[in-house]
Structure 1
Amino acid sequence: MVKPIPDGYHSVTPTLTIHGASDAIKFYKKAFDAKEVYRFPGPDGKSIMHAEIRIGDSAIMLCDEIPEMGFLSPKSTGGPSGAIYLYVDDADSVFSKAVSVGATSMMPLLDGFWGDRIGMLVDPYGHRWTIATRKKDMTLEEIQKAGAEFMKGQPK
């Protein structure tokens, strides 16, 4: 029987449209130890119609821009429409590695009130990434209480 969600996939799989998908795959390999699963070339034989990489236990699908189909990258739209939240064993080292190979820091590493250590960056292709490591397991009630305390100290 065919499984509705294939082995090795999750219910949600991000798909990124990238201006320069082949170079982006190289960057993701260097920055996040991504593994290339496959790539399917576009009609010109050079562009990427569809590719898949794996980071940890998760798949990310990607393609080059295909304007006639409405597939535009952050470079063409003026900014990303979403972000990837990437859990890793050591946020500090992965964040530093990503910056060293071309990512730009948006927010330095910090300990979030919800128990994660995070830092935010933008990859060279305009996509936002939050690099995170869980440092403290908390109940929803504990997170809500910590969040309320945190918000008291924020400007209105």
Structure 2
Amino acid sequence: MAIDNTPMLVPHLVVDGAAAALDFYAKAFGAEEMTRLPGPGGKLMHAAFRINGHMVFVNDDFPEFCDGRSSAPTALGGTPVTVHLHGPDVDGRFQRAVDAGATVVSPLEEMFWGDRYGVVRDPFGHHWSLAETVREVDMNQVLAEMNADG
């Protein structure tokens, strides 16, 4: 096996219930599981999956390895990070996520920047924005719209 040091940027999600999260991400976003490494007590130390051809890591929360502090959004009272999924059929993809158990944070709307865009929260506390570009918009128009709201 050859060593592969291809540069990457990979989101790494911490959850309570990584095995269930893998199942949810498959149902909601069409995630394809790549790796699953079990850890102590039935938890997952590491897992990897692909969505839209891009890798995402996930693991169970292990406070004992983080100075005794939980890193899961449920323990932190929410998440400051949103994972963004862009592509065709945003209405179908959004509904698929909701049908799989996601909660709507912001419903799908046509936005002034040219995307149909909405946000869901997965059952583990992470936010996912879904979008599809529906019209081309000049950046000056976008700036004018932003300034008109302020």
Say yes or no: TM over 0.5.
yes
Q: CA deviation at 1:110?
A: 1.4
Q: Distance in 1 between matches of 2:79 and 2:31?
A: 21
Q: Distance in 2 between matches of 1:131 and 1:91?
A: 6
Of 47, 53, 60, 1:57 maps to 53
Of 11, 16, 30, 2:13 maps to 16
Query: Per-residue displacement from partner, 1:83-121 (whole Å, max 9, x unpaired)?
Result: 100113211111011111210111111122222221111
Q: Distance in 2 between matches of 1:116 and 1:38?
A: 33
Residue pairs, 1:7-156, within 5 angstroms: 11-44=8-41, 46-70=42-66, 72-138=71-137, 142-143=138-139, 145-154=140-149, 156=150
Q: Distance in 1 between matches of 2:5 and 2:133?
A: 30
Letter in 1 for 2:135: K
Aligned residues: percent identity?
36
**Mapped contact 1:102–1:124 kept (Cα < 8 A):** yes
- Structure 1 stretches of 4+ with a deviation exceeding 6 A read none
SS at match of 2:27: helix
TM-score by length of 1: 0.85
Q: Distance in 1 between matches of 2:46 and 2:130?
A: 25
* Change beyond 3 A, Cα 1:3–1:52: closer
Q: Distance in 2 between matches of 1:40 and 1:2?
A: 20
Give me the CA root mean square deviation: 1.8
* Consecutive unaligned residues in structure 2, runs of 5 or more: none
Q: CA deviation at 1:3?
A: 4.5
Q: Distance in 2 between matches of 1:132 and 1:81?
A: 19
Q: Distance in 2 between matches of 1:2 and 1:102?
A: 38
Letter in 1 for 2:60: D
| Bigger mean CA offset, 93-102 vs 109-118 | 109-118
**Mapped contact 1:39–1:51 kept (Cα < 8 A):** yes
